[in-house]
């Protein structure tokens, strides 16, 4: 992804960034400054005060700058300045445009407020927060110091079409396919969606991965991240970009799996309830990174393909394989009328550039800023209960705040083709980007286990509350993780008894032998037909 001063969907291709996130680079800053000076002499709007000291301006200023900077000759500049000063006819038409704009804004605000109110009503705060870490130790997915963890296994170059890409795709599917073989689990609908696309390096075959709890459900809370890595620099690992976000998403789904099943069975038995028609969906995009310099054509190949397919296909339940709870759920949704597949996404939550310590996530979209607030509150609640950080973390991090601040400019990322089709977006990407962004330093050394642990707790709680999972749904021992967990707990206990300081790194080294013995069980490569996996 990259910073964009002018939004992609506004059709302007010349982004000026803050230097850090801008591959295109400022093309004519000097000229722009000159134009602004002239505008301000003419009584036109002045540049906003960016406290970052960078060249990013706010959206209001963007609009103004587009008017002036679209002309490069001084004659055309003078003409646009004249327009801003206004003749009477121009003023009348501008007033009309402003009136229509205000009316539209009021309508949009009213419908957003209504939608927010009904969604917010669905959220119920979980009282017993200790249920969240009890869903399982996230280390097996997000601990980069553990060689057997999912994060370690996907922390390899994974350029589209490469052997690494195939390996990572298999590793991401494995935990879900393991559940699909478990008779007690309702399983997940796993779809590998291959496509071919034109790139500056010729035609390339890529694959998106979509995993859905109940595919018959007419609405989804969709968590997404990209799993590919950059072609250059050669050997680029992309630990924060986006191996860690992928691992966080997998942990969230697997940790909540048993609770989701319990809720599915409950809804099927009791009929419709609050949030009963919303299911959890995960998307792992391929081809987010550009082959050369980032442009609108050379980037986000996976999300463009998926969004385009989902705008051209209808979601028309019942269509789920008639097995397990899916059969019961089909009956629940049978009266829903067909909609475009893309419209089943209630919110797209896109995680990117996460895993380094001290992320700062501002709200990027006014329509979903209330979800940022929910996350911020969730972080505070978990911290107050001392459940946010790993059990052995030093107490001086207990008041770290990750949410808030202001988004300067826009960011180009996988959400854009969905945003353009009206999908509400919650973009979880830090501002500023991690210092290692798009460098060889974005490897395991850029990651902080405490931060990744915090992200898993946060996402589990957020998703559980969003989907209105009851405390009774969450009260159960995790199936897949139990054995490994018992070994860890035993060792932790032994160390506590011996009065030793517990360090996860050392603990991992000590449990390596045990981990070796267990790794073959939940995370084993399997050849399963992707299309018939629900149940």
Please provide residue 445's backbone torsions phi and psi, each rounded to the nearest 5 degrees.
Answer: -65, -15
- The question of whether 442 is a catalytic residue gets the answer no
Please state the closest distance from residue 201 (CB atom) to Zn ion, in A. 17
Residue ranges in contact with Zn ion by CB under 5 A: 241
Which of 207, 197, 225 shows the shortest CA–CA distance to 1?
225
Annotated catalytic residue within 4, 137, 228, 352 = 352
CA distances from 401 to 61, 127, 350, 376, 397 (A): 29, 21, 20, 8, 9
Whichever of 189 and 226 has its CB closer to Zn ion, that residue is 226
Q: What are phi and psi of 385, to 5 degrees?
A: -90, 5
Nearest CA to 165 among 230, 234, 248, 250? Answer: 230
352 is catalytic: yes
Q: Shortest Cβ contact with Zn ion: which residue?
A: 241
Least Å distance, CB 305 to Zn ion, is 18
Q: Which long-range contacts (CB under 8 A, 24 or more apart) does 131-134 make?
A: 131/471, 131/474, 131/475, 132/382, 132/387, 132/457, 132/460, 132/461, 132/464, 132/474, 133/387, 133/457
* CA-closest candidate to residue 203, choices 289, 301, 134: 301
Residue 427 CB, shortest distance to Zn ion, in Å, is 14
CB of 206 to Zn ion, least distance (A): 15
Q: Is 122 helix (H, G, I), strand (E, B) or coil?
A: helix
Q: How far is the CB of 221 from Zn ion (least distance, A)?
A: 24
Helices (H), 434-501: 449-466, 471-474, 482-497
Residue number, 241 or 264, with CB nearest to Zn ion: 241
User: Of the two residues 3 and 176, which places its CB atom closer to Zn ion in the complex?
Assistant: 3
Please identify which of the residues 288, 289, 414, 443 carries the catalytic annotation: 288
- 241 vs 346 by CB, closer to Zn ion: 241
Smallest gap from residue 291 Cβ to Zn ion (A): 12
Q: Identify the three-state secondary structure at position 448.
A: coil
- Which of the 8 DSSP states describes residue 343? G
Closest to Zn ion by CB, 137 vs 241, is 241
Torsion sign over Cα 1, 441, 143, 235: positive
Q: Quick one: 177 or 413, whose CB is closer to Zn ion?
A: 413
Query: Of 44, 11, 47, whose CA–CA distance to 29 is shortest?
Result: 47
Phi, psi of 289 (to 5 degrees): -75, 150
**In the complex, least distance from residue 415 CB atom to Zn ion, rounded to whole angstroms:** 14
Cβ proximity of 471 and 248 under 8 Å: no
Q: Which is nearer to Zn ion, 45 or 432 (CB)?
A: 432
So which residues are the catalytic ones?
288, 352
């Amino acid at each position: 992804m990259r910073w964009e001063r002018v939004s992609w969907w506004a059709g302007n291709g010349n982004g000026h960034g803050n230097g850090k996130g801008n591959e295109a680079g400022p093309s004519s800053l000097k000229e722009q400054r000159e134009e602004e000076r002239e505008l301000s002499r003419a009584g036109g709007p002045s540049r906003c005060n960016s406290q970052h000291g960078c060249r990013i301006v706010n959206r209001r200023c963007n609009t103004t700058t587009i008017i002036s900077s679209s002309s490069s000759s001084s004659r055309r500049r003078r003409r646009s300045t004249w327009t801003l000063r206004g003749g009477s006819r121009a003023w009348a038409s501008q007033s009309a445009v402003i009136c229509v704009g205000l009316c539209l804004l009021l309508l949009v605000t009213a419908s957003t407020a209504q939608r927010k109110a009904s969604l917010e009503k669905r959220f119920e705060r979980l009282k017993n927060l200790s249920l969240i870490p009890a869903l399982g130790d996230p280390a097996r997915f997000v601990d980069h110091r553990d060689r057997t963890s999912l994060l370690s296994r996907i922390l390899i170059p994974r350029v589209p079409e490469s052997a690494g890409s195939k390996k990572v795709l298999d590793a991401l599917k494995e935990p879900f396919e393991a559940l699909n073989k478990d008779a007690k689990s309702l399983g997940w609908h796993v779809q590998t969606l291959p496509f071919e696309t034109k790139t500056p390096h010729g035609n390339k075959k890529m694959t998106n991965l979509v995993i859905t709890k109940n595919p018959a459900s007419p609405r989804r809370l969709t968590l997404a991240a990209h799993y590919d890595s950059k072609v250059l620099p050669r050997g680029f690992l992309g630990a924060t970009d986006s191996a860690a976000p992928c691992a966080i998403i997998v942990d969230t789904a697997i940790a909540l799996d048993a609770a989701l099943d319990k809720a599915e069975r409950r809804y099927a038995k009791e009929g419709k309830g609050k949030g009963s028609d919303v299911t959890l969906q995960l998307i792992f995009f391929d081809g987010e990174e550009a082959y050369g310099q980032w442009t609108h054509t050379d980037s986000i190949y996976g999300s463009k393909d998926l969004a385009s397919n989902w705008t051209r296909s209808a979601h028309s339940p019942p269509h789920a394989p008639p097995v397990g709870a899916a059969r019961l759920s089909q009956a629940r949704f049978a009266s829903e009328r067909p909609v475009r597949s893309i419209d089943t996404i209630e919110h797209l939550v896109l995680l990117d550039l996460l895993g380094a310590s001290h992320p700062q996530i501002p709200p990027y979209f006014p329509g979903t800023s209330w979800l940022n607030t929910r996350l911020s509150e969730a972080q505070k609640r978990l911290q107050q209960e001392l459940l946010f950080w790993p059990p052995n973390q030093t107490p001086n991090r207990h008041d770290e705040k990750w949410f808030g601040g202001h988004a300067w400019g826009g960011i180009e990322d996988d959400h854009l083709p969905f945003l353009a089709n009206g999908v509400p977006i919650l973009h979880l990407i830090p501002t500023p980007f991690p210092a290692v962004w798009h460098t060889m330093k974005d490897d395991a050394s850029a990651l902080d286990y405490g931060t990744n642990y915090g992200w898993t707790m946060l996402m589990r709680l957020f998703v559980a509350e969003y989907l209105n999972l009851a405390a009774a749904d969450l009260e159960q021992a995790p199936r897949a993780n139990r054995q490994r967990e018992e070994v860890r707990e035993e060792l932790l206990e032994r160390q506590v008894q011996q009065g030793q300081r517990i360090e996860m790194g050392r603990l991992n080294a000590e449990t390596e032998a045990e981990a070796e013995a267990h790794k073959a069980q939940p995370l084993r490569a399997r050849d399963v037909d992707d299309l018939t996996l629900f149940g």
